[in-house]
Amino acid sequence: MGDVVNSGAVPENSDSSSSLQKIQEAWYKNPNVAFWLSYQLKFRFLSVLRGDEMIQYLSGYKPELLWRNLEVYECWGKPFKLYLTLAQYDMNKMGFKFSYAQVERQKQKENFNQHYKEWITKYDFVIDLDSENLEEAYNDALKIKKYFDEHKLSYELKFSGSRGFHFRRINLPYSDGVEIKYKKEALALRRRLKLTTLDESVYDLRRVFKLAYSLCGDKVVLPLSDYEFEQLGRWFKEGKPEEVNNY
């Protein structure tokens, strides 16, 4: 992502005395940030968790669409989180765009709920590691990373912005029952690698996942290079919790 972020923390030039809401607005209105968020949303839906309300089926594949939806659903000035669908959809085959009009949108949601499987083209395999002890989640992530690297599997690894790490294998073929297959594969990995922080609740077709470069509180959901991931490991070994907390 170049000069947009270099750590999981919101950049230092953010006013530390500002509210989280102001930090979010400044972050998401940054054109570079908005570009990389939108880039991930081609053929996928954006979901916004605003308070305890999940707003689904939004378009965000261009920065202008992302900003418009955050405006329409009155997200500015309120805490919110951004997610993408693990499924990719054939939007042309679907044949409609979700309306902002409440009555029409409800009808479209009912139609989507009946037929969404017919429109899925790709589906991502993910692993969600989550623990109150971040080092414990890191150790599990290290095992999985080594396993994937040894088997030459492509993947995205990111810090979740909170208590763990996410692995995501992107744009894999979709077939009926693939979410059941992926859950079995994840549980097999848990047994093989003796994982202790695997969240097994994420395996369903409607699942959404945190959007890379979005915010989780005042932390960035950050894709990690090999070097960045190894640096976290060195900090854990050296007993430097302040570096980890500021990451």
Contacts of residue 39, defined as CB under 8 A and 6 or more positions apart, other chains included, come to none
Q: Would the pLDDT of 80 be above 60? A: yes
pLDDT digits (tens, 9 = 90+) for 98-146: 999 999 999 999 999 999 999 999 999 999 999 999 999 999 999 999 9
pLDDT digits (tens, 9 = 90+) for 157-166: 999 998 899 9
CA–CA dist 139, 119 (Å, integer): 38
Instruction: For residues 45-55, give the mean pLDDT.
Output: 95
Q: Is the dihedral of CA 15, 17, 23, 25 positive or negative?
A: negative
CA–CA dist 161, 158 (Å, integer): 9
pTM: 0.89
Say whether 62 sits in a helix, a strand or coil.
coil
Identify the band that residue 154 occupies on the pLDDT scale cut at 50, 70 and 90.
very high
H or E segment to which residue 192 belongs: helix 178-193
The predicted structure's pLDDT at residue 235: 85
